[in-house]
């Protein structure tokens, strides 16, 4: 497996599966074959975290809610491919 591994940990009690799946789809759409994997991990207790190769880039409690797709894509890009152009997302 090559490329970064994205992990989205979400609370099943809070019904955040659809939100998490949408974020995974956005990342797969933007970065496609450059990603090693995008994994959804069910959890409980209000947990919502996004990691790139075991480095936490978003935590709901710490960062204040959920990132929109533009913010999420920039966070992943800045961590893995800082020189990559995201097209309209960067404008």
* Domain containing residue 45: CATH number: 3.40.30.10
Instruction: Provide the domain limits for residue 31.
Output: 5-90
Residue range 41-89, pLDDT digits in tens? 999 999 999 999 999 999 999 999 999 999 999 999 999 999 988 887 7
Helices (H) and strands (E) in the chain, counts: 3, 4
DSSP SS3 for 34: helix
Rg of the chain, C-alpha, whole Å: 13
pLDDT tens-digit profile of 14-53? 999 999 999 999 999 999 999 999 999 999 999 999 999 9
Domain tally for the chain?
Answer: 1
Q: For residues 17 and 10, is the Cβ–Cβ distance under 8 A?
A: yes
Quote the strand ranges of 1-91, DSSP E: 5-11, 37-43, 48-52, 55-59
Return the higher-pLDDT residue of 91 and 47. 47
Give the pLDDT confidence score for residue 1 in this predicted structure.
64
């Amino acid at each position: 497996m090559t490329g970064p591994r994205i992990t989205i940990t979400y609370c099943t009690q809070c019904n955040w599966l659809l939100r998490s799946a949408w974020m995974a789809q956005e990342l797969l759409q933007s970065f496609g074959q450059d990603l090693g994997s995008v994994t959804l991990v069910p959890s409980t207790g209000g947990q919502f975290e996004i990691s790139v190769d075991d480095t936490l880039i978003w935590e709901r409690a710490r960062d204040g809610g959920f990132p929109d797709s533009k913010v999420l894509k920039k966070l992943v890009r800045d961590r893995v491919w800082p020189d990559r152009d995201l097209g309209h997302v960067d404008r």
